Amino acid sequence: MDASYGAAFVIYNTAFSLGYLIGPLIGGGWLEFFSLPSLLVAYSFFLLLAGLPVLAPTGKGQPAR
């Protein structure tokens, strides 16, 4: 293993940990002002938007076999 693997692992773990820290703060703050169903709808739209790049065409022609 080389240093780039370690650096990638650190970045991944840091992003994952920040998500665990920030997610509940945002969700709890949302629930202070809005209802749970509105939080779930907002989260579903966020997931849809985050997943759109996966469905975007790459312009490279046929998929690899």
For residue 44, what are the domain limits? 3-52
Using CA atoms, how far apart are residues 27 and 21, in angstroms rounded to an integer? 11
More confident residue, 12 or 64: 12
In a domain, 17, yes or no: yes
Q: Is residue 46 part of a domain?
A: yes
Specify the number of domains making up the chain: 1
pLDDT surpasses 70 at 64: no
Residue 60 placed within a domain: no
Contact partners, residue 31, CB within 8 Å, separation at least 6: 39
Does residue 63 have a pLDDT over 70?
A: no
Does 47 have pLDDT greater than 70? yes
pLDDT at 12: 92
64 falls within a domain? no
**pLDDT single digits (tens) 25-36:** 988 998 899 999
Residue 33 is assigned to a structural domain of this protein: yes
The answer as to whether 30 is a domain residue is yes
